Amino acid sequence: MAKVLVVYGHPAPGKSLANRTILETLKEKCPDIEILKLSEEGFAPHVEEDQKKLVNADVIVFQFPIFWYSYPALTKLWVEETFAHGFAYGSTGTALKGKKLIISCTTGSPTEAYVPGGPNGHYLKDFFYNFQQLAALCSMEYLEPVYSHGCAYIPGVMPESVKDRVIAACKAHGEKLAGVLKSL
Ligand SMILES: Cc1cc2nc3c(=O)[nH]c(=O)nc-3n(C[C@H](O)[C@H](O)[C@H](O)COP(=O)(O)O)c2cc1C
């Protein structure tokens, strides 16, 4: 299997159900993947160390919950710092050339909210043009994103049946992603 680096951008992993389930499933199916937990670095990314991890990987997965139609601020800052000029892009920035990028994420809103004319106005994929262009600028290959809708669970507010549904959906998400990674 290709060398995989999962950049995990949940700012509060202890409170996660959806992304935690995806990561646990992924780790079970693909034990050799490396997981970089951005919450452990906070807003002071370990730039040199993490750039080495990026260089060492063939496939980079951004795993995160959708916050305001994009990745959480923690991931955004990390990208700003590590995908630097002269490293990731620019005439001498070729460190990520040829690597594959996969966006793997969860939303709170259900599938029917992500349609033209719906509450979120667009298909989720249409919010990903920035990721696609980020990959293009860094000469990376942008692969099909993997995402699951309707993954919000608030303990004590939502019924247990929602929790069970989110866990089942996110296990399936983790298995699907593992299948993709194994095929690369
Ligand atoms: C600050 C914030 C912003 C959010 N923005 C969105 C959004 O734009 N679209 C959406 O569908 N869900 C949004 N959500 C819901 C989360 O995506 C959802 O709770 C998450 O995917 C569940 O994953 P987790 O259990 O790993 O936390 C937001 C949640 C928070 C806390």
Give the model confidence (pLDDT) of 148-170 as tens digits: 999 999 999 999 999 999 999 99
Q: Which residue among 6, 67, 104 has the greatest number of ligand 1 atoms within 8 angstroms of its CB, and so is best to mutate?
A: 67
pLDDT of res. 71: 98
Q: Does ligand 1 lie within 6 Å of residue 14's CB atom? A: no
Q: Does ligand 1 lie within 6 Å of residue 10's CB atom? A: yes
What are 64's strand-pairing partners? 105
Separation of 153 CA from ligand 1 center, angstroms? 10
pLDDT in tens, the chain (184 residues): 899 999 999 999 999 999 999 999 999 999 999 999 999 999 999 999 999 999 999 999 999 999 999 999 999 999 999 999 999 999 999 999 999 999 999 999 999 999 999 999 999 999 999 999 999 999 999 999 999 999 999 999 999 999 999 999 999 999 999 999 999 9
- Beta-carbon contacts of 167 under 8 Å, excluding residues fewer than 6 positions away, are 17, 21
Token reading at 146: 């993997």
Atom of ligand 1 nearest to the CA of 105: 21
Separation of 149 CA from ligand 1 center, angstroms? 10
3-class SS of residue 153:
coil
Q: Does ligand 1 lie within 6 Å of residue 62's CB atom? A: no
In what helix (H) or strand (E) does residue 34 lie, and over which residues does it extend?
strand 34-37
pLDDT of res. 154: 93
The one-letter code for the residue type at 51 is Q
Q: Does ligand 1 lie within 6 Å of residue 19's CB atom? A: yes
Q: In order of start, what are the domains of the chain with their CATH numbers?
A: 4-183 (3.40.50.360)
The answer to whether 110 and 165 have CB atoms below 8 angstroms apart is no
Q: Does ligand 1 lie within 6 Å of residue 104's CB atom? A: no
Residue 71 φ then ψ, to 5°: -85, 155
- CA-based torsion, 45, 51, 56, 59: positive or negative: positive
pLDDT of res. 108: 98
